[in-house]
Structure 1
Amino acid sequence: MQEIDRPAPGEELNTSGGVSTPRQAASVILLRGGGETLELLLVKRTEKARFMGGVWVFPGGGVDAHEGEGDAAHRRAAVRELVEEAGVTLPDPTGADLVKFSQWITPAEVKIRFDTHFFLARCPDGAEVVIDGEECVDSGWFTPRGALDAHVAGDILLVFPTIKHLEQFEQFATAEELIAHSAGRAVQPVEPRVVMSGETARVLLPGEPGYDDPPALAGA
């Protein structure tokens, strides 16, 4: 469980009473370090963005209509977004060599929702990160603990799903170890819940106490 005193930019709670349909999206967790260490790429979204302004994220975005549907569409979108936001081109433009790591669905209580599929990818040898300067304005390679510590220190701003991914990555010593663990693993969708306790919002993950309670009880 995580308690927040206010939502991140673009994560405002939905007070209309209806539930919005999440948009299909894809994200690439670009790794480097091989069998020696584990570093991953984060990019900073511009402060001007309506959604997640100023937040450091894994490169990614919505699936475009021409990219189709299903897993293949998510993979194509992931490859495209990595090029657009970080200037890194993967060897296979279809994303067939990406390793699916997770699927996160924005809580129903949040106004803007995404159903995001996260993929692991090795950074190609010699590739240089070149941000677009418009949607993304900065980038950096971090160890999982380094990114979490930078967030706690106030040097970078992270949101809940990114934090939870980084916490999982901490158990792996190298990029190859993480990829080997994830290859072929069944991925189950994760949909957190947001419940209110006074003025504080609590974010609950499946399996945590209160997640399955009716709304009136979960927020009591």
Structure 2
Amino acid sequence: MEEAVKVRDAATVMLVREGAQGLEVLLMRRASGHAFMADRWVFPGGRVDARDADAALEGALSQPFEAAEGLADDEDAARAILIAALREVFEETGMMLATLADAADDDASLAAIFGAEPERWQRWRRKLDTGSASMVAFLNALEEVAGQPVRLNAAGLHYYARWITPDFESRRYDTRFFVARAPAGQTVQVDARELVESRWIGPTEAIEAYRKGAILLAPPTLCVLEDLRRFEAPGDLARLFADIEKASIDPVLPQLLDKAPEGDEAVLVLPGDAAYREERVDVEAARCPPGRTLQERSGVTRVVRRDGQWWTERR
């Protein structure tokens, strides 16, 4: 009997800002030689590592710490997911979501610290990325320069969505999507290893670029961008965060339709689609909380591959 692929916890962060035309989100292109999603434009993020569950990081998050409902089975697992999200943002973008105990403006204070010694903090970024230094050591170094306690800004992460890689994939992730305001004064610096290009872009513009073949997107990224289109008008950023506070986050576990309609290469059905079969949901692997339904919030119920490209549909 074939052994099931282990589902690994992961976190990704949609950094957003108010652009000239409205909401912009940060997309980054993965290196062409990468084993997973090569050349795809993605949000910063990655899998949760053992180091994210280090007991020494228990007090590293901004207080008070409250695990979001449905984020994980227990507080320790939820904390590790949040730490992974914040760590990955720094490793992949060079931007830090953190709070300083006595600072009137956290973003301005951190921007000044990083701007004064950019090479020093880039070295720390590489050390974190390679695992040669711990987050505890990094925060201690940052506190020494700041002259005050520094905490990772968990409150700045807003739980937005949860996607689980289908069971037919060779790599499976239980990915929590967060939305966070981009820290003012800090600029994006791609790591040039895993990610090689970045772009601030509106959701509709990103989808249109994908349709034209200018960028490559994976189905979850495409679906989330579809949902963000509801909030991309000028001044809608506040409405986005207000909507998040009211939303119930249910896991999305796509299923491959057994037989695609003529003309379609493949069809991924999502919760809410008439063809979605609840009895096939791998609840144990997905670690879905008992009694919770699987529901995709944006209204998209299937993603169809046609002529080499994924298209979203609502049925």
Specify if TM > 0.5.
Answer: yes
Residue type at the aligned position of 1:201: A
Other-structure match for 1:86: 93
Q: Distance in 1 between matches of 2:78 and 2:19?
A: 26
Task: Name which structure has the greater RCO, CA cutoff 8 Å, separation 6+.
Answer: 1
Secondary structure at the aligned position of 2:16 is classed as: strand
Residues 30, 40 of structure 1: 8 Å contact kept:
yes
| Alignment match of 1:104 (pick from 163, 180, 200) | 163
Name the counterpart of 1:21.
6
Alignment match, 1:42: 27
Aligned-residue sequence identity (percent) comes to: 38
Query: Out of 247, 269, 291, which is 1:185 matched to?
Result: 247
Is 1:164 equivalent to 2:223 in the alignment? yes
Give 1:94 deviation, angstroms.
Answer: 4.9
Q: Which moved more, 1:83-92 or 1:44-53?
A: 83-92
Higher strand share: 1
Tell me how far apart the structure 2 counterparts of residues 191 and 43 of structure 1 sit (CA, whole Å): 24
Secondary structure of the structure 1 residue equivalent to 2:98: coil
How far residue 200 of structure 1 moved from its aligned partner, in angstroms, is 2.6
1:73 to 80, 105, 113: 80
Q: What are the equivalent positions in structure 2 for 1:121-132 lying under 5 Å apart?
A: 121-132=180-191
Task: Look up the SS of the partner of 1:23 in the other structure.
Answer: strand
TM-superposed CA distance for 1:137, in Å, is: 0.3
The alignment's C-alpha RMSD in Å is 2.1
1:34 Cα deviation after fit: 7.8
* CA–CA separation in structure 2 for the residues paired with 1:121 and 1:35: 19
Q: Which residue of 1 aligns with 2:270?
A: 205
Question: Taking structure 1 as the reference length, what is the TM-score of the superposition?
Answer: 0.84
1:58 pairs, out of 22, 29, 43, with: 43
Larger radius of gyration: 2
Shift of 1:213: 7.3
Structure-2 separation of matches of 1:94 and 1:76: 9
Aligned-residue offset at 1:209: 2.0
The change in CA–CA distance for 1:17 and 1:209 in structure 2 (over 3 A counts) is farther
Shift in alpha-carbon separation, 1:66–1:149, aligned structure 2, 3 A: same
Task: Compute the displacement of 1:36 (Å).
Answer: 7.4
Runs of 5+ unmatched residues, structure 2: 54-75, 100-151, 281-315
Structure 1 alignment gaps of length 5 or more: 1-15, 216-220
TM-score (normalizing by structure 2)? 0.60
Distance 1:193-1:18 versus aligned 2 partners, 3 A rule: farther
Give the match for residue 257 of structure 2.
195
Tell me the residue number matched to 2:154: 95
User: 1:149 corresponds to which residue?
Assistant: 208
Tell me the matched-pair count.
200
Q: What is aligned with 1:113?
A: 172
